[in-house]
Structure 1
Amino acid sequence: MNRRWKLCEPNLEAVEALSKYLGCHKAIAGAMVNRGIREPGAAERYLGPSLADLPSPFTLKDMDKAIARIIHAIQARENILVFGDYDADGVCSTALLTEFLLEAGARVFFHVPHRTQEGYGFSSQHIRNPVLSKKIQLVITVDNGISSHEAIEEAGQAGVDVIVTDHHTPSETPPPALAVIDPKLPGCPSGLDHLAGVGVAFYLCIGLRMAMREQGLWPEGKEPNLKHKCDLVALGTIADMVPLIGENRILTRAGLEIMGAAARPGVKALLDVSAVDNSTVSAHDLAFRAAPRLNAPGRVDHANKAVELLLEKSNSRARQLAWEIDALNRKRQRMSEDLYHSALSLLKSDHDLKGKRSLVMAHSGWHPGVIGIAAAKLVREFNCPVVLISMDKRTGKGSARSIPGVDLYQALQACESQLIAFGGHAQAAGLTIDDKSIETFRGMFDSQVLEKSTERDFERVLTIDYSVNPMEIGPDFANQIESMAPFGIANPEPVFISTEVGIKQGPTVGRGHRRMVFHSGEGNTKPLQAIWFNARDQLVPSIAGAVAYRVQWNRWKDRQTVQAIIEGIREG
């Protein structure tokens, strides 16, 4: 994969000042300045994120209304339904709020819809079951609900109140709920619009705990420690690929710490089947190992199994559920790989990419639960927005994925006349469409992508933070990098560049991974171990003109060494 190398140019005075204040390497200070961290106070908060720095939950619009209604429901012994979503964010949100309400003494049930049988979100079909069948008096949606206008209106007519907690972009008119907690609502002063659905649910828990404390409603010793629930927040936040900045960073760091203590049987079992050591778990581990497994039940079976895993208190039962989920994930992998190759075949036979900036494909044999995964893989392959649509008779369910420079939600909004429904984020979205509208939608969507992007948006770019001598990299440098974690969207792992690097090749390991060593040739400095993943056919010169790489601790059993993860090598 050819990528244009882009070397950042941070303000050198800011780098010098930050390096001196923190006592860190200039390359580390440069990486922080590139992420907008310039002032000492901001740097300290960035390196030491604390739950104490979270803003008040009451900055979220309608929080006071929601809390008053929930407290009334608890005291009146009303039946409360937590209505979630079938993805990992929705599953974590459902488990979080259900567990908290149970601890608060509520009569609470949860419902996560079946992806193919019920579809996304709180809808009219749910009024009869589970709302009326379980004699529910209060529904609280998590990670959905902002577009459920019809269902919420019908619930009101049936005498059932609805509180919406969501983080998706609302339409011009908010739903007619008793309270709508969504940081993306116009007029919401919170500044928390980067939260995942589980983050919004967590803020509701914070506010409810505060209000119940003020009213003396917690029995002595029964008030829950919300930090212990940050494992769920971290897992849902990472899985939903929201920016790891501000509050998301604080909550994720706390959650990773809680996972290290192996306090929750379900999360520990999930990490175990994902081959992740909970004592060293990272955001990368959650994103690429744990989250896909947690998503699998909702894709190919029923997400209830994932909620049950997270709520399970028995270690043995948690292990059993985790292995069942792991089996579903293997099934999901086979299905998504087959669908990906099917899409490639359809692309080669029926589609002409020339002059287009997007891919929109529809097929009746595609499973709706895995089209999003295949779409993401096609985005990586072709570096353009992709929409895959699973057809069922005359109606299609679609999943869309995008590249950083193209906002999917805005593009779909401009195509709204051709869609039955749509929703999502800038980088991932879902839609429903009539088969007669697909060709028109394909043209409109491609026009919107062209209009809202530039040529540079379609380039593959490797952003490099700072130039550094590899012989200066050692344990202290690796520790300083680790202090910048967790890494993810908007807080990527730093990439460094070194020039005129001596390289001694080592063996090829695994599936074409090449080990090597950076050396200075002077004999008085310790060489830097390096590995280049998936580089079987790459040429490696004895002296490279430039090497781009990340720096990590390589931990194996009781040993750890500093290692460079190569992103690219250029000859002189």
Structure 2
Amino acid sequence: MTLPPPSFRHTPDGASSKNGLLWHLRSVHDDVIERLVRASGCLPLTATIMAGRGFTGIRSLRDFLYPSIQKLPNPDTLQDLNRASDRIAQAITQRESIVVFGDYDADGITSTALLYGFLSRLNAKTAFHLPHREKEGYGLKASHIPAFTQTGTRLIITVDCGISSHEAIREARKAGIDVVITDHHRPGPELPDAIAVVNPQRIDCPSGLRQMAGVGVAFYLVMAIRKKLRESGFWQHTLPEPSLLPETDLVAIGTIADLVPLTGVNRILVHAGITVIRKNPRPGIQALCRVAGIHSEAIDSESIAFRLAPRINAAGRMAHPELAARLLCAPDLETAMPLALELDRLNTARQNEENRIFIPITDELEKKPSLSNQPALILHSEDWSPGVIGIVASRLVRRYHKPALLIAMKDGYGQASGRSIPGIDLYATLTHCSALLEQYGGHSMAAGFRISHKNLAAFQKHFCSLLHPCHNSIGIPPPIMADALVTLDSLTPLLLSEIEALGPFGMENPAPIFAAKNLEVISCTPMGQQGNHRRLVLRQPTCIRTQKMPAVVFGVNKNSYFPRHLETCLFRIRKEWGQTDSVQIQIEAWC
């Protein structure tokens, strides 16, 4: 058996340090590494990463490395998609008034921009409506229908919402308005009585696309509409049939923002969308990249998740989501730039509001162990903005490793946003509490609900009681999974190039994490406007070729001591800022 080069090991290992760092190495067999190296010609270390993530077969490996848009599953596999596209094609050709009704988050906004933009280019009689988070709340409601009736609307198409809008759809039917639902949130026991309900989460849907974001479902709807119009001869007599590849830029942003797994169909769509943004970004995305300080040709999933998506979300959190939709539909850069600058301003305001809520919560939890020791953090206040409590909940989950549900109270009712941890299905848990809730919906890891103040105490007690079977996983951070134990000599530009080909990285396909032992910190200097990051130079005495390695670590207070010796260092690698062929370490944890 051929052993891998001495610069890394792939045998199972782990360490628990005195400061609580817990990590494990993925286990990989030597013969699998050899087979992948022979088949792909990649470095043994790259083969180790792929094998550790389950790509042990040549076919699965090739499908992963070459995510072609041609490999998308047939749209016909989505339940009700044919009925939906039939009705929409009819509305287009008969010049009926269509409203695209979306959601106020990045997934809903990109879904709306995608479908509205497509229909507009067909000269359809269309408009869109995105609800104001605080004034209207989530989803299509019965109160929306009279206004649509007055404007002569004949068809409403929901995107990223609608699966729980039973009353609204009944009112629409009474008013003579048809409704087509496209959504990806879990349905309740009964489906709404709509013309079509396109949702891969339906138990009778054979598509196998349950993990798609709302914008992915909207993209499949557009594919089906285009096909239906092709079959009717529409493209021969009116417009040339459009390519849908340019629309994958919106799919990439919405999919990444919604934190769905970047595997399978999602990976194909996000990979295609990132390529579109790099080569030919639409004016709105180009403007957003400028204000975010990133080059569109270097865009990746991380810059979308942390630079673009927050600015799009800021519209719905701090003002009105229509701002972001107008940006994404902007016809030119001149129109787009003022909108992008406004989203940038709103994002800064969002960050300030987020800290205004987060810091007092953590202070209170440290003062009151009785609160922090609960299996879930269920907190409420009349001083919280509903638009940012979801982000604060996410930060609390990362800090305390338990579900967090924050409730913004107003006039006797609370609008809540919750986040969970792996192993605790938030939506399912809320379902068991449904008798105490006015409304709820979401996913296993993120959900929202509305609750009366009189039910708060009972809800908190019941919700926490449901978590007792999971007490072993609550409050304990999961071990960091390292893909390989390496030396600095193995961190070459070629390795970085091969790792970049494994992206886009995100949920269920995280960027590879490496572990290295016994590193010396040669220099350490503060970095960033507030000095809360560090720029390092590292050395590993056992290395021959690599005498120095640049590194960065984020979120370290400028007044905090940083050790001169790292017994174990867990990190990612990336291109050094401003360099094209220099590898830099981004430290994630150390001891």
Are 2:176 and 1:159 aligned? yes
Q: 1:405 and 2:429 equivalent?
A: no
Summarize the Cα distance change of 1:349–1:399 in structure 2 as closer, same or farther, 3 Å threshold: same
- Taking the TM superposition and a 5 Å limit, the aligned residue runs for 1:71-470 are 71-129=89-147, 131-219=148-236, 222-347=240-365, 352-353=370-371, 355-452=373-470, 454-455=472-473, 458-470=476-488
Cα deviation for residue 341 of structure 1 reads 2.5
Query: In the aligned structure 2, how far is the partner of 1:13 from the partner of 1:179?
Result: 50
Q: Which residue of 1 aligns with 2:574?
A: 552
Please give the per-residue CA displacement for 1:501-524, whole angstroms capped at 9, x wherever unaligned.
Answer: 455334343324141123445654
Q: What is the SS of the residue equivalent to 1:140?
A: strand
Q: What is the RMSD computed on CA atoms of the aligned residues?
A: 1.9
CA shift digits 1:196-221 (9 cap, x unpaired): 00000001111111222232211476
Structure 2 SS opposite 1:353 = helix
In 2, Cα distance between equivalents of 1:77 and 1:108 = 9
Q: In the aligned structure 1, how far is the partner of 2:116 from the partner of 2:480?
A: 42
Contact 1:3 1:459 in 2 (8 A): no
Contact 1:123-1:150 at 8 Å conserved across structures = yes
State the number of aligned residues. 567
Q: Residue 444 of structure 1: CA displacement? A: 1.2
Code of the residue aligned with 2:549 in structure 1: it is L
Report the more deviating stretch, 494-503 or 314-323: 494-503
Distance 1:444 1:127 in 2: 36
CA contact (8 A) 1:270 1:322 kept: yes
Q: Which amino acid aligns with 1:135?
A: G
The secondary structure found in structure 2 opposite 1:352 is helix
CA contact (8 A) 1:471 1:528 kept: no
Corresponding letter in the other structure for 1:167: H
| 1:350-392: CA deviation from partner (whole Å, max 9, x where unpaired) | 7723652111011111111111111112112212111110111
User: Is the 8 Å Cα contact of residues 315 and 324 (structure 2) preserved in structure 1?
Assistant: yes
Whole-angstrom CA distance in 2 between matches of 1:20 and 1:551: 25
Q: Which residue of the other structure, out of 549, 552, 555, is the alignment partner of 1:531?
A: 552
Matches of 1:121 and 1:283 in 2, distance apart?
A: 28
**Equivalent pair of 2:366/2:372 in contact (CA under 8 Å):** no
Change (3 A) 1:76 1:495: same
Superposition deviation, residue 107 in structure 1: 0.8
> What is the CA–CA distance in structure 2 between the aligned matches of 1:453 and 1:34, rounded to whole Å?
29
How does 1:51-90 map onto structure 2 within 5 Å? 51-90=69-108
Contact 2:315–2:321, Cα closer than 8 Å, also in 1: yes
Distance 2:72 2:394 in 1: 33
- Gap change, CA 1:428 and 1:267, over 3 Å in 2: same
Mapped partners of 2:553, 2:366: distance in 1: 31
- Mark the CA change 1:158 to 1:35 in structure 2 (over 3 Å): closer, same or farther: same
Letter in 2 for 1:548: L
Partners of 2:85 and 2:228 within 8 A in 1: yes
The aligned counterpart of 1:540 is: 563
Give the direction of change, closer, same or farther, for the CA distance of 1:375–1:21 in structure 2 (3 Å limit). same
Q: Tell me the residue number matched to 2:539.
A: 518
Match of 1:504 in 2: 522
- Compared CA separation, residues 20 and 46, structure 1 to 2 (3 A): same
Q: Secondary structure at the match of 2:481?
A: strand
Change (3 A) 1:388 1:249: same
Q: Deviations over 1:131-153 (max 9, x none)?
A: 21211111100000000011111
> Which residue identity does 1:516 align to in structure 2?
V
Using the TM superposition, give the Cα deviation of residue 562 of structure 1 relative to its aligned residue in structure 2, in angstroms: 0.8
Equivalent position SS for 1:218: helix
Cα separation, 2, equivalents of 1:153 and 1:204: 23
Aligned amino acid, residue 20 of structure 1: R
TM-score w.r.t. length of structure 1: 0.95
Distance 1:123 1:311, change over 3 A: same
Q: Contact conserved, 2:417 with 2:449, CA < 8 A, in 1?
A: yes
Contact 2:84–2:196 under 8 Å retained in 1: yes
Q: Do the aligned residues in 1 keep the contact of 2:247 with 2:273 (CA within 8 Å)?
A: yes
Contact 2:441 2:448 in 1 (8 A): yes
Farther off after superposition, 469-478 or 29-38: 29-38
Q: 1:402-423 CA distances to partner (integer Å, 9 max, x unpaired)?
A: 1223211111111111111111
> In structure 2, what is the equivalent of residue 563 of structure 1?
584
The answer to whether the 8 A contact 1:141-1:163 is kept is: yes
Q: Is the 8 A contact 2:323 2:339 kept in 1?
A: yes
**One-letter amino acid matched to 1:211:** K
What is the TM-score of this pair, normalised by structure 2? 0.92
| CA contact 2:21–2:590 (8 Å) conserved in 1 | no
Q: Quick one: distance in 1 between partners of 2:233 and 2:311?
A: 40
Greater Cα offset, 188-197 or 25-34: 25-34
Q: Among all aligned residue pairs of Structure 1 and Structure 2, give the percentage whose two residues are the same amino acid.
A: 38
Moved more, 50-59 or 493-502: 493-502
CA displacement 1:115-134 (0-9 Å, x = unmatched): 111110001001112x2121
Q: 2:426 and 2:60 mapped to 1: Cα distance?
A: 32
Match of 2:7 in 1: none
Contact 1:127 1:155 in 2 (8 A): yes
Whichever residue aligns with residue 190 of structure 1, its letter is S
Kindly provide the amino acid, as one letter, of the partner of residue 141 in structure 1. Answer: T
- Give the Å deviation of 1:157: 1.7
Q: Indicate the larger mover: 432-441 or 404-413.
A: 404-413
Aligned partners of 1:213 and 1:525: how far apart in 2?
59
Q: What is the aligned counterpart of 1:23 among 14, 20, 41? A: 41
Asked if the contact 2:142–2:168 (Cα under 8 Å) also holds between the matched residues in 1, the reply is yes
Q: What secondary structure sits across from 1:368 in the alignment?
A: coil
What SS does structure 2 have at the residue aligned with 1:390?
A: strand
Residue 488 in 1 paired to residue 506 in 2?
Answer: yes
